[in-house]
């Protein structure tokens, strides 16, 4: 079920962000208990939810290894996601993806690439299919500032611009490229500045403010749909956990991390909604409980699910 | 059943004929690459600019675009020009086209064809010529074909376009202007099926692409001395026709594998190992490989010829096996 109506409002977006956080924290705890490693998107929930909620039900998504937020915002079942993370047969990819490249065809999540930039290389082809179908659908391609330093970033945006492909490129600039600060790999602060070089429109938005992200994304989606031209949206945010779990983040500047944690997207929205009288502490508590329960049930489902049978190692190689 | 009408055309035209027929047959077939629209102006006229496109000189995104388009319903045929340029597209071909069906648990398929020229003969040197077909045979999820004559170039391209998997379609450059009889209309050569292009009883030559003709020359020479050589044109390298090769190896008991690609870990190694594992007891001698050396393909015509397996070497290998 893909719920994309903006009428769902900021409270629904808050709940999705909290679900993503709880999902990621579950995986962190599971890893600490001896489970598989994971690349979390903690701190980037607003960037994920604001963009994905702005897409139409028939639009498509290409994403990257830090994709849990995109999948959950699109309505993916956390139980099937956790089953996939655990390599279980009930996972979205029958346990053949693991947590790094979950795709969900029924939700329009075509592919999650864990080769940094892989999603950028696939995007023009998806855009080409949609262009030829002529039904006004678009594809959102979500990548990070690390991918924006790959050569394929240039190739992808260039051909998308030349061919007028309906692609919303979204760079979640989370300031980290694995264990290297973006400041060591780029001289400029904003990926969106590069849009001009391709003759397309670009914009940077506060990626920790889900309402701002949603507004910017909705406007960009409408433009892409109306013009069939790509748009480069940058959600400026911060990865508050390490590259993967476990990661002690010894390489992270403590003051920088603290300043971004103070801008936590979930706390920020929660505070704003309470100030506006749109959310009571009791309602917040209720959401927290619901999210906790959802993840607990998802974890149970994953835990109880069977592993794939050994013969599955040979299936799905060829169509 | 009446035999199909044939016309004499060269490999270049056979490739274009197959593409044109498949584009007429299936609106999902598209083709793009560096200069594709420039070369095929008439196809742009017939099918429109969305189905036949030029691209930037950017092999990575050409292959990635093909993978993305294939995952969402199109059947792209991409031209990567010369095989060394494929190095820029390895990520997209190997990690995306070859693996994402498996990784997605079978949710997506990648029906695409990637073509590229290779092969010594035009003195283009190692950055325009490199027989890298074995790299893709070693990569999961891909298929690999490498035809030797105009009819097979047509029939295998049609099969590749209709296949629901990514197919690497290698074009041995010096064959581009080779003429031959090509069936008109729906001539499809199944992927994975070898052709026995010369029957024989004393020794088997297993080969593909341009080397088929070299092996046929060697077989002619041997016939003058009363030796009967069988020549198997693999046509497809992944999957390759184990049945045809093993049957012939069993029959003659002597096998020489011949390819232009460098010897180490080439197709010949796989074929020799398979024959050894499966029909060792039928062999009258070791499976012999005649292959290019482990050097970059040279440019000078003289060096190219020194690099290429020649009929004399094949004849000598056969005679040695015959004792």
What tens digit of pLDDT does each residue of A62-85 get?
999 999 999 999 999 999 999 999
What CA–CA distance (Å, rounded) separates A123 from A160? 8
Reply yes or no on whether the pLDDT at B196 is more than 60. yes
**pLDDT on residue B2:** 67
Q: How many residues does chain A have?
A: 319
Full set of structural domains in chain B with CATH:
9-183 (3.40.50.970), 195-322 (3.40.50.920)
> CB under 8 Å to A45, separation ≥6 — which residues?
A16, A17, A20, A21, A69, A210, A265, A266
**pLDDT on residue A83:** 97
Preferred mutation among B73, B77, B103, B168 to probe A, highest tally of A CBs within 10 A: B103
What tens digit of pLDDT does each residue of A113-133 get?
889 999 999 999 999 999 999
**Domain map of chain A by residue range?**
37-263, 264-296
Residues of A in contact with B106 (CB under 8 A): 94, 315-316, 319
Reply yes or no on whether the pLDDT at A6 is more than 70. no
The mean pLDDT of chain B is 97
Is B128 annotated as catalytic? Answer: yes
**Cβ contact, residue pair B60, A155, below 8 Å:** yes
What CA–CA distance (Å, rounded) separates B245 from B194? 8
**Cβ contact, residue pair B102, A128, below 8 Å:** no
Name the residue of chain A whose CA is nearest to B78's CA: A125
Q: Is B72 on the interface with A (CB under 8 A)?
A: yes
Beta bridge partners of residue B290, listed in sequence order: B258
What tens digit of pLDDT does each residue of B237-278 get?
999 999 999 999 999 999 999 999 999 999 999 999 999 999
Q: Is B55 on the interface with A (CB under 8 A)?
A: yes
**Cβ contact, residue pair A96, B71, below 8 Å:** no
What tens digit of pLDDT does each residue of A212-260 get?
999 999 999 999 999 999 999 999 999 999 999 999 999 999 999 999 9
Give the mean pLDDT of B110-126: 96
Indicate which residue of B128, B130, B213, B259 is catalytic.
Answer: B128
A–B CB contacts, 8 A cutoff, strictly below: 152
**Cβ contact, residue pair B165, A318, below 8 Å:** yes
What CA–CA distance (Å, rounded) separates B52 from B44? 6
What tens digit of pLDDT does each residue of A38-65 get?
899 999 999 999 999 999 999 999 999 9
**pLDDT on residue A113:** 80
Residue of B53, B56, B68 lying closest to A123 (CB–CB): B68
Taking Cα atoms as reference points, which of B148, B167, B142 lies closest to residue B205? B148
Residues of A in contact with B51 (CB under 8 A): 132
- Is there a contact between B245 and B206 (Cβ–Cβ < 8 Å)? yes
Half-sphere exposure of A63 (CA within 13 A, CB side): 28
**Cβ contact, residue pair B103, A129, below 8 Å:** no
Residues of B in contact with A120 (CB under 8 A): 64
Report cis status (omega within 30 of 0) of the bond before A246: yes
Q: Is B106 on the interface with A (CB under 8 A)?
A: yes
CATH class belonging to A37-263: alpha beta
Residues of A in contact with B67 (CB under 8 A): 121-122, 125
Q: For the residues of B29-81, what is the DSSP string, one character each?
A: EEEEETTHHHHTHHHHHHH-TTTEEE--S-HHHHHHHHHHHHHTT-EEEEEEE
Per-residue confidence at A1, pLDDT binned at 50, 70, 90?
Answer: very low
Predicted TM-score of the model (pTM)? 0.97
- Which residues 198-227 of B are in CB contact (within 8 Å) with A? none
Beta bridge partners of residue A139, listed in sequence order: A60, A167
Q: Is B114 on the interface with A (CB under 8 A)?
A: no
Reply yes or no on whether the pLDDT at A196 is more than 50. yes
């Amino acid at each position: 079920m893909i719920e994309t109506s903006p009428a769902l409002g900021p409270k629904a977006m808050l709940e999705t962000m909290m679900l993503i956080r709880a999902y990621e924290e579950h995986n962190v705890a599971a890893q600490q208990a001896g489970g598989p490693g994971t690349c979390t998107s903690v701190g980037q929930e607003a960037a994920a939810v604001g963009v994905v909620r702005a897409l139409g039900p028939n639009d498509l998504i290409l994403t990257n290894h830090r994709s849990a937020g995109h999948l959950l915002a699109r309505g993916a079942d956390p139980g099937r996601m956790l089953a996939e993370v655990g390599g279980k047969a009930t996972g979205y990819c029958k346990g053949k993806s693991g947590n790094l490249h979950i795709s969900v065809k029924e939700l329009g999540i075509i592919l999650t690439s864990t080769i940094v930039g892989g999603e950028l290389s696939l995007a023009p082809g998806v855009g080409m299919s949609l262009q030829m179908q002529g039904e006004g659908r678009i594809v959102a391609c979500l990548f990070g500032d690390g991918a924006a330093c790959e050569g394929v970033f240039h190739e992808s945006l260039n051909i998308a611009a030349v061919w007028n492909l309906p692609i919303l490129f979204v760079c979640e600039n989370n300031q980290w490229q694995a264990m290297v600060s973006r400041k060591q790999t780029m001289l400029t602060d904003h990926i969106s500045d590069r849009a001009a070089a391709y003759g397309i429109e670009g914009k940077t938005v506060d990626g920790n403010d889900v309402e701002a992200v949603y507004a910017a994304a909705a406007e960009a989606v409408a433009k892409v749909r109306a013009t069939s031209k790509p748009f480069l949206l940058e959600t400026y945010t911060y990865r508050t956990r390490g590259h993967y779990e476990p990661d002690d983040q010894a390489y992270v500047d403590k003051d920088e991390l603290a300043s971004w944690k103070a801008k936590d997207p979930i706390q920020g929205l929660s505070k704003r909604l309470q100030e506006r009288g749109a959310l009571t502490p009791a309602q917040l508590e209720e959401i927290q409980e619901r999210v906790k329960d959802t993840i607990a049930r998802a974890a149970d489902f994953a835990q109880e699910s069977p592993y794939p049978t050994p013969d599955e190692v040979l299936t799905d190689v060829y169509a | 059943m009446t035999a199909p009408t044939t016309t004499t055309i060269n490999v270049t035209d056979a490739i274009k004929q197959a593409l044109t027929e498949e584009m007429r047959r299936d609106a999902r077939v598209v083709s793009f690459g560096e200069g594709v629209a420039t070369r095929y102006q008439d196809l742009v006229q017939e099918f429109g600019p969305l189905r036949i496109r030029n691209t930037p000189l950017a092999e990575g995104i050409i292959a990635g675009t093909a993978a993305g388009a294939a995952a969402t319903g199109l059947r792209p045929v991409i031209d990567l020009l010369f095989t060394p340029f494929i190095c820029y597209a390895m990520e997209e071909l190997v990690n995306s086209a070859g693996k994402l069906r498996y990784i997605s648990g079978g949710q997506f398929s990648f029906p695409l064809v990637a073509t590229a020229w290779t092969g010594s003969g035009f003195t283009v040197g190692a950055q325009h010529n490199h027989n890298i077909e074995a790299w893709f045979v070693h990569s999961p999820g891909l298929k690999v074909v490498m035809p030797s004559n105009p009819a097979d170039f047509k029939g295998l391209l049609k099969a590749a376009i209709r296949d629901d998997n990514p197919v690497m379609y290698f074009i041995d450059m010096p064959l581009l202007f080779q003429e031959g009889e090509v069936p008109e209309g729906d001539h499809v050569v199944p992927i994975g099926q070898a052709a026995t292009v010369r029957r024989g009883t004393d020794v088997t030559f297993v080969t593909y692409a341009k080397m088929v003709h070299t092996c046929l020359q060697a077989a002619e020479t041997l016939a003058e001395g009363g030796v009967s050589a069988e020549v198997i044109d693999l046509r497809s390298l992944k999957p390759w026709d184990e049945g045809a090769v093993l049957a012939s190896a069993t029959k003659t008991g002597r096998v020489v594998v011949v390819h232009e690609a460098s010897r180490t870990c080439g197709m010949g190694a796989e074929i020799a190992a398979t024959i050894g594992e499966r029909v060792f007891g039928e062999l009258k001698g070791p499976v012999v490989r005649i292959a290019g050396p482990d050097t970059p393909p040279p440019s000078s015509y003289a060096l190219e010829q020194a690099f290429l397996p020649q009929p004399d070497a094949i004849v000598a290998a056969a005679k040695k096996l015959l004792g």
